[in-house]
Amino acid sequence: MAKTLAERLAAHFAGFTYDKLTDDNRKAVKRLLLDYLGVAVAGSQTGSGKVARQYAASMGGHAQATLIGDGARVPAMQAAFANAISSHSVELDDIDVLALFHFSPPVYSAALATAEQVSAGGRELLAALAAGCEMMERLSKAANNSLRNRGYHTTPTCGVFGAAIAASQLLRLSEEQIVSALGLTGAQAGGLMEMYGPSMQKRFNPGPASRSGITAAAMAQLGFTGAATIFDGERGFLAAFTDANQPGQLVAGLDQPYQLDIEFKPYSCARPIHNAIDCALEIRRKHAPDLERVKRIQMARHPDWALYHQNAHPSTYHEAQVSLPYSVAVALTDGQALFAQYNNARLKEPMLVRLSEMVEISVDDSLPRGVSCRMTMEMDDGARHVSQVDYPKGSIQNPMSDAELRAKFDSLAVPVLGKGRAAEAAAMVENIEECRDIGELMRLLAPSEK
């Protein structure tokens, strides 16, 4: 009998080790580890991060893993839950090349919590991170764009499988156990795109995914069996979550090295908005327009994302971070779009309101990429300034350097951890292969006064 997709994936990941990682993938997951930690440390201090930490600590249980930005130790599942929410709370987490999902909140949170629980070392962690990211992206390729267009949020819906594979690696599950873990993961998959608005809803989504991935792996380790047909069955994941899919993407090239393309965020907002920000920054840099004399701002977007992020009147910073008009306005006024720009106190500033209301979004299917944007600014004297951005800053084609990523980490981590601890954590990530116990790294991620 032919093997199911889950069985083929299990055979692949059961033999997954650090030595099988390509140099590019080792570098990619290490760069993302530094980025994740900085983002999670900063996010842990936001309203959503604080509630998540408080909830995790209130549940009690064995002290297995560390709450980032806190230092309290809680069960691994609870640490993964809270840390995933923290890492998604400032809109600076990584992104895939199609801007459909974030690798690190579900996968890295689950992997770090499990690694700490079992006292795994750096090499084991890197292998688990790479495996989890690969699993997540394979499933996204198989399910999207239909998954997203039906209203499911890819980060938790596919990320739960990445979290399960990462945990399975660290728990050293057998091939048969990984099949069960994947089946049990499917029983918990979910996450809706009904998350944009003034609430913290969007921050929550990766939390259950990270926790559920660990649950699935732990239950499979104890002998609880799951459906081998979870992906390709009549009522399996692809049938339930998509109208159109490409199941072959789940197992394409299993005998070849998998290329992980991980992109990074320089701006504190939803990734499909970054192209628009880069357009605004380019016009600002090249033309220094007098913003009082702007008459019209047109933003052409690819059909993939044109109907998203249109709210020109955000009422909270959560809404502002998914508002293209506000993001363009603040980029034009401030020359940047960091977390400080997404501040409730700024949302009613007259110039920001005026520029936000001026942004007209249109659909242009001639644009080459799903995230492409073309901005045309018209001035009151008839002058026109045009910028088109297909590859935003932080993309594979327009990358952030190691120095830029370190500066981003420092800007996020130092205010919470202090210079000493932040530098020590960064140095440990740089040499993570030599780390014998990931707990040593995690214990650095609390404010120095604790």
Same domain assignment for residues 288 and 262: no
pLDDT tens digits, one per residue of 223-244: 999 999 999 999 999 999 999 9
Diameter over CA atoms, the chain:
73
**pLDDT single digits (tens) 115-159:** 999 999 999 999 999 999 999 999 999 999 999 999 999 999 999
- Cα–Cα distance list, 93 to 39, 258, 275 (Å): 6, 22, 16
Is the pLDDT score of 450 beyond 60?
A: no
pLDDT higher than threshold 80 for residue 446: yes
Number of structural domains (the chain) is 2
Q: Is 168 helix (H, G, I), strand (E, B) or coil?
A: helix
Q: Do residues 230 and 275 share a domain?
A: no
Q: Residue 46 domain-assigned?
A: yes
Mean pLDDT of 334-351: 94
Q: Are 336 and 419 contained in the same domain?
A: no
Which pTM was predicted? Answer: 0.94
- Listing DSSP states for 226-293 in one string gives --TTTTTSTTSHHHHH-SS--GGGGTTTTTSPPPP--B--SSSS-GGGHHHHHHHHHHHHHH---GGG
Q: Do residues 82 and 138 both lie within one domain?
A: yes
Q: Is residue 89 part of a domain?
A: yes
The reply to whether 397 falls in a domain is no
Query: Could you tell me if 192 and 105 lie in one domain?
Result: yes
Report pLDDT digits (tens) over 397-441: 999 999 999 999 999 999 999 999 999 999 999 999 999 999 999
In terms of domains, do 210 and 147 share one? yes
Average pLDDT, the chain: 97
Query: What is the domain extent for residue 42?
Result: 5-266+406-442
Same domain for 311 and 180, yes or no, is: no
Q: What is the 8-class DSSP label of residue 3?
A: P
